[in-house]
Amino acid sequence: MIVLIADDLDINRKLLRTLLAADGYEVIEASNGADAFNILKDAKGPMVGLIDWEMPQMEGIEVCRKARALHGLPPLYLILLTVRDSKQDIVAGLQGGANDYITKPFDKTELLARVGIGKQMVQLQQTLTERVAELKDALLSVKQLGGLLPICSYCKKIRDDQNYWQQVEAYVGKHSEAKFSHSICPQCYEEIIKPQMVQLGIDPDTESPGTPATE
């Protein structure tokens, strides 16, 4: 899990970097709000952000607000770090797009616990996103089977969207979870199988018409 540390003070970044690295996190640093926003904007995977409120170029609350306004980003969990501890500031931070709010000076154990919660949240969001994508693919397959299928009047092969002709079972098996077994219907038994048996000198009345299904 990647954690972004955004703080304009070197000593604060060093403290957080040492603390998080010891707990197994990969750390990225930004010394101003503009750089922090660019890192979030270009994120390729889930990320937890520790964002200082007061930074040059762009305040932390503005970083959160602008990041939330972007579409298509991976899951982000943003924690504001600040000396401001009034209820109004806390509410403003959360309304600005932060998921959590930690006042300075912070307790190390509490900070790691809150980062751990952020990690769990973004991982859950990522899993849900992947499940939604899988469901969309499944629905697409269902829609492919629900449309008009060109089928040969003689051999009964189906033409796919690449203009290739396939056996019915091959096409359906490719676009669904269905599996086929083979047997003989009563009509085909009477019209095809019985005449062939007679030609071979076999009395069809002494054979069972119920042919077992085979894969």
Residues 184 and 81 in one domain: no
Question: Confidence band (pLDDT; 50, 70, 90) for 213?
Answer: very low
* Bridge partners of residue 49, in order along the sequence: 4, 78
Ranking 66-75, 90-99, 186-195 by mean pLDDT, the lowest is: 186-195
Mean pLDDT for the chain overall: 84
Beta-carbon contacts of residue 153 (< 8 Å; ≥ 6 apart)? none
Residue 1 tokens read as 């899990």
Query: What is the number of domains present in the chain?
Result: 2
Q: How far apart are CA 19 and CA 112, in angstroms?
A: 8
Where helices occur in the chain by DSSP H, the ranges are 10-22, 33-41, 60-69, 87-95, 108-146, 168-175, 186-188, 194-199
pLDDT at position 212, please?
45
Residues 93 and 186 in one domain: no
pLDDT at position 157, please?
72
Which residue, chain included where needed, has tokens 């270009």?
A: 42
- Domain-located, residue 212: no
- Domain-located, residue 59: yes
In Å, what is the CA distance from 27 to each residue of 13, 15, 44? Answer: 10, 12, 14
Residues 127 and 197 in one domain: no
pLDDT at position 187, please?
81
In Å, what is the CA distance from 213 to each residue of 74, 176, 185? Answer: 49, 21, 11
Kindly report, residue by residue over 94-145, the tens digit of the pLDDT. Answer: 999 999 999 998 999 999 999 999 999 999 988 888 888 777 776 766 655 5
- Domain-located, residue 150: no
- Domain-located, residue 35: yes
Residues 125 and 202 in one domain: no
Beta-carbon contacts of residue 117 (< 8 Å; ≥ 6 apart)? 77, 100
Residues 97 and 195 in one domain: no
- Domain-located, residue 193: yes
Domain end, chosen from 132, 166, 196, is at 132
pLDDT at position 162, please?
62
One-letter amino acid for residue 152 of the chain: C
Higher pLDDT, 177 or 12: 12
Mean pLDDT score, 195-210: 74
Ranking 25-29, 103-107, 111-115, 183-187 by mean pLDDT, the lowest is: 183-187
Q: Residue 38 pLDDT more than 60?
A: yes
- Domain-located, residue 186: yes
Residues 123 and 167 in one domain: no
Residues 66 and 163 in one domain: no
pLDDT at position 214, please?
44
- CB count within 10 Å of CB 170 equals 15
Percent of the chain with pLDDT over 70: 78
Q: Which domain holds residue 192?
A: 158-206
pLDDT at position 211, please?
47
Kindly report, residue by residue over 139-163, the tens digit of the pLDDT. Answer: 766 655 555 567 776 676 766 666 6
- Domain-located, residue 140: no
Residues 37 and 82 in one domain: yes
pLDDT at position 181, please?
67
Residues 71 and 125 in one domain: yes
Residue 98 tokens read as 């932060």
pLDDT at position 92, please?
93
Residues 113 and 189 in one domain: no
Residues 118 and 200 in one domain: no
* Bridge partners of residue 80, in order along the sequence: 51, 101
